[in-house]
Amino acid sequence: MASSNPSSRTFTTLAVPDSMSRKVQVTGKGTPNLTTIVKQYFPDMPREPAQKSTIAFAFDIDGVLVKGKEPLPGASETIRLLQRLKIPYIFLTNGGGLTEKDHAAKVSARLDVDIDPDQFVQSHSPFHDLVPIYRNRRILVVGGEGNQIRNVAEAYGFNDVVTSSDLFVEWKNCHPFPELTAQHHSAHGRPTPDLRTKEIAAILVWSSSRDWCIDLQVMHDLLLSCGGVFGKKSSKAGDVELPNNGYLQDNQPKLYFSNPDFNWVTEYHQPRFAQGAFRECLEGLWRYSTKGEAKLECTSIGKPSETTYTYGERMLKAFHEKMYRSQNMEDGSGGGGPPAIKTVYMIGDNPDSDIVGANTYKSRMGAVWNSILVETGVYQAGTEPSHQPTYHAKNVADAVRLALDKEGYGDSLGKRIWMRVIQGKEVYDNEGRANKGDGDNSCNKKKRVLQDRINTAESIEAMLPQFGKLKLPAR
Ligand SMILES: [Mg+2]
């Protein structure tokens, strides 16, 4: 696409609609730039449309955009393409353990693309909605190591957060088998003066437990406690005169799980237990200790739950509005809101999570949710998925291409990118100098910009084979 010799004149081949192809005869002094050529030969070219997107995307992350710590082929380019096209999208992951800001920064670095934390929905993100209920009430948080989850919960706005380690510091022998993990709990547990008297109002499982032994024990204790006070047993448990045989009838804490996945894919060659397996254990213990005569009431969020898709859609709508406002400010094209999103494509690798969630979700904003199953993660190509997606695609790049094609985006896509080429927004010289005046001429940035340019050209060519071609000199 571009010569490596900066002194030579370079050309890049970009596609334009056949109807716009004309013989280019350059007049004037010196080497004309693209704007000159286009103004001269394409006077009727429409202005780049303001962002009018009525489609949107929701991406799972693991097995779709990254595998382990590495980006999957085409992932970064695909996200950049949507950024260029001003198409709204969110990330909808059952991962977690960090604030949205920190997790977005981590994925952003892995993919080398800018991600707004407002686009980032983790398994426990809907816990934000619990803050008004439990802001100043005590909650027990489960999962992660050290004070990782306590810190995230406090960043969310919960002001009274305790951990199993705090309980261990207060009652060393509440842990039935402390030999292997006592040091960790002693190091991270905080002395809490009213731990023996103040009730714990809720148990929030944020992430996978690192010490199932103590976590299952203290959660089970609290579910049988009197009023959520640790170490105090309810006298109502087993009373057949009461509803649920007296279980959970004594103001015990409400129980929340954030991720129903039974297992997950790691670098190991077989799946590993995830939070769903931990919940199965607690339910098994509960069944045994209540002789199967009491229901364990809990709320489970994360994909494929309706709660998470509802929350994700709300975030998507808000992000779309934010993007639209900033675009309008940039263009000076006035106020008004964005058009309603009509179609959302959920791209995922897990039929039991991403696909069934999108298939069954009833949109609150009247959009149609389609699912696209890719072959780069949990789902193995050639096997029968447990839930049929709306579409199949090899990878995320093919999935987005397929969606844009289905939505008839081809023509306007070509025009939009083409107009950006015309306006100099997608034109780079053969050194990759593209961002005049931003002061960053680092080698990496040049390389990235140059690669971006190549990807843009390739995207157009791949997606719009019906277009004719015109050779244009790079600036
Ligand atoms: Mg996945």
User: What is the CA(96)–ligand 1 centre distance, in A?
Assistant: 13
What are 59-76's pLDDT values in tens digits? 999 999 999 889 999 999
As a whole number of angstroms, the distance between CA 261 and CA 73 comes to: 25
> Residue 186's CB: how many other CB atoms inside 10 A?
13
Sole residue written with tokens 């990807």: 455
Q: How far is the CA of 175 from the centre of ligand 1 (A)?
A: 34
pLDDT, residue 406, reads 83
The conformational region for residue 440 under phi > 0 = left, psi -120 to 50 = alpha, else beta, is beta
Region at 57 (left for phi over 0; alpha for psi -120 to 50; beta for the rest): beta
203 in Cβ contact with 142 (< 8 Å): yes
- Nearest-CA neighbor of 190 among 210, 235, 153, 160? 160
- Measured in Å, residue 274 CA sits from the centre of ligand 1 at 13
Average pLDDT over the chain reads 81
Q: 34-38, 82-86, 269-273, 396-400: lowest mean pLDDT where?
A: 34-38
Burial 376-393 (b: 16+ CB within 10 A, else e): bbbbeeeeebebebbbbb
| Angstrom distance (rounded) from CA 392 to CA 402 | 9
Evaluate if residue 51 carries a pLDDT over 60.
no
Q: How many angstroms separate the alpha carbon of residue 67 from the centre of ligand 1?
A: 9
What are the φ/ψ torsions at residue 374 (nearest 5 degrees)?
Answer: -105, 165
Least confident span in 79-93, 274-288, 318-332, 393-407: 318-332
d(CA 13, ligand 1 centre) in Å? 36
Looking at residue 270, its pLDDT comes to 85
* For range 287-297, the mean pLDDT: 96
**Quick check: helix, strand or coil at residue 148?**
helix
Which has the minimum average pLDDT: 178-182, 306-310, 316-320, 397-401?
Answer: 397-401
Quote the pLDDT of residue 135.
Answer: 98
Per 3-state DSSP, the chain is made up of helix, strand and coil in percentages (nearest 5) of: 40, 15, 45
Judge whether residue 265 has pLDDT over 90.
no
List the structure tokens of 130. Answer: 């619990």
300 torsion bin: left (phi>0), alpha (psi -120 to 50), beta (else): beta
Structure tokens at 271: 């799946």
pLDDT band at residue 158 under the 50/70/90 scheme: very high
Average pLDDT, stretch 343-358?
A: 97
Confidence of residue 463 (pLDDT cuts 50, 70, 90): very low
Note the pLDDT tens digit of each residue in 192-237. 989 999 999 999 999 999 999 999 999 999 999 999 999 999 999 9
Span 151-157, mean pLDDT?
A: 98
Residues 6+ apart with CB under 8 A from 206: 96, 97, 124, 127, 141, 142, 143, 144, 149, 152, 153, 258
Kindly report, residue by residue over 16-31, the tens digit of the pLDDT.
Answer: 444 333 334 444 455 4
In three-state secondary structure terms, 411 is: helix
Please state, in angstroms and rounded to a whole number, the distance separating the CA atoms of residues 472 and 207: 53
In a 13 Å sphere around the CA of 3, the CA atoms on its Cβ side amount to: 10
- Give the mean model confidence (pLDDT) for residues 346-368: 97
Q: What span, in angstroms and rounded, lies between the C-alpha atoms of 93 and 103? A: 11
Given this model, what pLDDT does residue 376 score? 94
| Token couple for 150 | 């306590």
Q: d(Cα 274, Cα 26) in Å, to the nearest integer? A: 64
- Give CA–CA dist 306/121, Å, rounded: 14
How far is Cα 117 from Cα 120, in angstroms, rounded to an integer? 5
> CA torsion angle for 131, 133, 139, 145 (degrees, to 10)?
-20
Q: What's the pLDDT score for residue 47?
A: 38
Residue-wise pLDDT for 408-432, tens only, equals 765 555 555 544 544 444 433 333 3
CA of 332 to the centre of ligand 1 (A): 39
Q: Ligand 1: distance of its center to the CA of 256 in Å?
A: 22
Percentage of the chain modeled with pLDDT above 70: 73
Q: Which residue has the higher pLDDT, 366 or 420?
A: 366
**Spacing, Cα 350 to ligand 1 middle (Å):** 6
pLDDT at residue 301 is higher than 90:
yes
Q: Is the dihedral of CA 432, 433, 438, 441 positive or negative?
A: positive
Q: How far is the CA of 84 from the centre of ligand 1 (A)?
A: 25
Confidence of residue 344 (pLDDT cuts 50, 70, 90): very high
What single DSSP character describes residue 175? Answer: S
Rounded to two decimals, the pTM is 0.76
> Contact, 342 vs 294, CB < 8 A?
no
- Choice among 253-257, 291-295, 471-475 with the minimum mean pLDDT: 471-475
- Tokens representing 404 are 């844009």
Q: How confident is the model at residue 404 (pLDDT cuts 50, 70, 90)?
A: confident
Q: Which helix (H) or strand (E) holds 254?
A: strand 254-257
Report the SS3 class of residue 310: helix
- Distance (Å) from CA 348 to ligand 1 centroid: 6
Whole-number Å distance, alpha carbon 373 to ligand 1 midpoint, is 10
Output the pLDDT for position 428.
36
Question: Residue 13 pLDDT > 80, yes or no?
Answer: no
CA–centroid distance, 112 to ligand 1, in Å, is 19
Exposed, middle or buried by CB within 10 Å (0-12, 13-18, 19+), for 332?
exposed
| DSSP result, 440-466 | ---HHHHHHHHHHHHHHHHHHHHH-TT
